[in-house]
Amino acid sequence: MQSEHARSSIKVQYLGVGNLYLFRSLARYIAPNTEIPHSRRGIRTTCWLAGFLAIIGSMILTGCGELPQTIMDPAGNDARLIRDLFIPILWIALAIFIAVEGFLVVSMIKYRRRPGNDAIPVQTHGNARLEIVWMVVPALIVAVLAIMTFRAMAVQAEAPGDNALVVEVSGNQWWWEFNYPELGVVTANELYLPVGQEVDIRLSSDNVLHSFWLPKLAGKLDVVPGVTNKMKFTPEQIGEYFGQCAEFCGLAHAQMRM
């Protein structure tokens, strides 16, 4: 009879072979005219390639679904302000990523160790010009990002107008209460706002920490016990928009939606 250790080893081997076969089959399906190597190194490379393609494919497919909670399709002036700040920062970050990773790949290929060459390469102990460049350029990038961010924050910090509709929002466990003091109306989990009129949102809580988040209309702001936080925005499009509590607040946190 086989020992328990031997049976476990066989199971692990079968599992590994099954995964290798799965990845090889996937690689053949993606590139049917490509010869699949049979060496151990070739199989490992095929597995890594198939896994990488699967990850990239799944990331691309995420863009095919509906996104009811996104700032990329704003329906309010505050959400549009956030979107307009996010996009240039994204492009700047993408350019930096491509430059850094490209330099890394080129360095790995150009200066890799070659067979039969064991000589010590030329050693560089300092380059004042290069050091100045990589200090000044990041500082300028950070300065530009800071200016863009502070300009957006200044707009958000402006006081609401006299005609703004006041809505007192109370975060409970685990539901939202919306009080319209000027209208004498109270609703639960459903916020009704007029299009084109500025809204003065006043957030409070008498229990735990929450976070008020309506992605398509405005940004996110914490609801802190004992503190009244304020935010303002103007709905610009008629529609039904979804929001939720974005701070873990207990067992039914996931159900605290708007």
- What is d(CA 58, CA 13) in angstroms, rounded to the nearest whole number? 28
Q: CB neighbours (10 Å) of residue 227?
A: 10
Sort strands 165-171 and 176-180 into parallel, antiparallel or unpaired: antiparallel
**pLDDT on residue 121:** 77
**pLDDT on residue 177:** 94
> What is 81-120 written as a DSSP string?
HHHHHHHHHHHHHHHHHHHHHHHHHHHHHHT---TT--PP
**Residues ≥6 apart with Cβ < 8 Å to 94:** none
Query: What's the mean pLDDT when you consider all of the chain?
Result: 83
Query: Topology of 69-112+159-258 in CATH?
Result: Immunoglobulin-like (2.60.40)
**pLDDT on residue 114:** 80
**pLDDT on residue 73:** 87
Domain boundaries, the chain: 4-64, 69-112+159-258
**pLDDT on residue 15:** 37
Mean pLDDT, 10 residues at a time, the chain of 258 residues: 41 41 52 56 78 85 73 90 94 94 89 81 82 92 94 90 92 93 92 93 93 92 93 93 91 90
